[in-house]
Every structure is written in structure tokens, then in C-alpha cells.
A = this chain, B = another copy of it.
Amino acid sequence: MKKLINHPENVVTEALQGMESAHADLIKVHYNPNYIVRADAPVSGKVGLLSGGGSGHEPMHGGFVGYGMLDAACPGAVFTSPTPDQMLEATKAINGGAGVLHIVKNYTGDVMNFEMAADLARSEGIEVEAVVIDDDVAVQDSLYTAGRRGVGLTVLAEKICGAAAEAKHSLQEVTEVCRKVNSQGRSMGMALTSCTVPHAGKPTFEIGEDEMEIGIGIHGEPGRQRMKIKTAAEIVEMLVKPIVEDLPFKSGDEVLAFVNGMGGTPLIELYLVYNEVQKLLSAHGIKITRHLIGSYITSLEMAGTSVTLLKLDDQLTKLWDAPVKTPALRWGM
């Protein structure tokens, strides 16, 4: 296992300490239970936005805490959902009196832990809503009743809902916006390499020098299918076609295209992938009006990419464009 770490047990805590000392102007880090809050939390009269999930997906979610995005994030152990007590404490810390929205990625563990936390928070008198993000079209069979995974769309939902909350929309309204994002966005991902969970000490899966996994999630789990590696153009077609057909996206649609790196893929490749996405969508008459390119929701050091498309309208575009100031996303201020 090759990592810049001290001890597998301490990776999450020490990375949090690094974030804390780097971004003291934007965030505060609380330990035991672990959560990251906006430096100015709670913001009175504003809906509080909480997300969380296993660590190993950085910058998600902690890197998205700040003005115009999340109020708090709960980091779990690597690839392990955080626990209800973390979420409860974070919920309390960001409740500015207008209620709290939990943005939950659809994994059994995340959903159950957030459910328990919401129950506990409600029993303490805090109004809590939850939206479960499930955008991964790689998981398509309705027999598999855990449902689709939550992946790249989560980042877009956090930004857009963050803007809505910052504009002092009500809990009801922010929740609606989040549901809308979830209903209008789809993702799919692939991997060239596995990643290594620090505790496990060896790659989660073995893969040949000429192979790739299509339809992966973000936890180093194997994908839906293994095949010989293909060109970027072919790979993009394998990712984008199921996305376009699923919603479906139609000619004339305006979309936000998010080309994400899985952690070990360099930016030069992401731009090359974006170029293919752009060509393919324009052949379908779909117009990219906003974009995000970079490694924003990762699987440790996995090499690979995911594509997320979100159908935009005026409301979502405006919320996307609104100022944001977090460790990992920043514009307009």
C-alpha cells in the first residue's frame, strides 16, 4: 500500500486536522463526534444544510462546507457512513431556527444512519427533512431493491441547495429544489484501477493492465462489468448513452455537464474526456450551458472518471451561478 499517511487508524483525523488549520476562516472542525461546520454556524433564519458520508471522497463533503453550500458535513471512517450521533450533533450545531435538510447519498448504511439521526433530532424539536440522492444509472435493475447509488449529482445538489438556503428559502422550498435536482440528474462512472482502503492495506479488487471496470460506485467496489480498456471516445459513449437514455435527455435540453476524476486521474485526461462528452452531447442536440471539471467526488486514489448530467432551467442555473465560498468550490466572492 502506497499512501502519504502515518497510520491507517489516523488518516481521517489527521486529514481533518489539516483542513482545520488550512481553512480556519471558512470552517470549524469538531472531533468526537467528528463534524465540520461553517465558521459562522448556525446562521440565524437560514435552512441548515447537512451532508455526510464515508471519508475517502474528498473534497466531498467537508470541502463543500461554507457560504453558499453546506452548513455542515459528517465524515465517517473511510468508505463507511458516519453515525447518528455525529449527524445529531451537526444538526443541532447548524439549526438556525429554519430547520435542517439532510442530503443523503443512497447507500443502505447512509440512509439508515441518517434516518436514526433525523428521528433523534426531531425528538429534540428540530425540523428535519431528508432527500436521498440516487443518480447512478449503472444500477438499473429494479430487482435490486437497495435502489440506485448516490454519486456525482450529490455535489451539484449541495451547491444548488446551498444557494437556495443562502437566499433564505424555506425548508420546504430547499427540499423541493433538492428533489428536483435529484429527478433531473443522472451519473455513471468507470475505473482504470482499484483503490486501497487504508485499513485493508491492499487493493479492493485486482484488475489487469489492459482492463477497466464500467459502472463503478465511489467506494472501490467492483463495477457492473469488466472489459478490455477502450478509447476515451468509446468510454464516454458507454457512460453518456445510458445517462441520456435514462432520464431521458432530449435534443434542445440545456445541461450542466460534470466530468469528475476518481482521485488518481490527472486533469489533462479529464479535459480530454470533457471534450468527448461535449462532442457526443452536441451530436444529440444537447447543449452544455454549465460545467464542472475536476476531482470533486473521489474514491481515494482510484484512476477513473464519472460523468454527471443535470438538466438545467432558469431556476437551477441561477442557483448554480450564485456565489459560493468553500475550501473546494469558490466563485463570485
Contact = CB atoms under 8 A, between A and B. Distances in A.
Contacts of A283: none
Interface string A320-333: 00000000101111
Nearest to A207: B2
A326 to B, nearest CB: 11
A167 interface: no
Nearest to A193: B2
Contacts of A232: 4-6, 14
A317 interface: no
Interface in A236-294: 263-275, 278, 288, 291, 293
A235 interface: yes
A21 B278 contact: yes
A231 interface: yes
Copies of this chain, tallied across the complex:
2
Contact of A15 (B63, B229, B268): B268
Contacts of A212: 2
A233 B18 CA distance: 13
A301 interface: yes
A269 B305 contact: no
B275 A18 contact: yes
A274 B254 CA distance: 40
A331 to B, nearest CB: 6
A266 to B, nearest CB: 4
A117 B19 CA distance: 43
A298 interface: yes
Contacts of A295: 266-267, 295
A15 B300 contact: no
A269 B22 contact: no
Contacts of A209: 2
A56 B21 contact: no
A7 B11 CA distance: 38
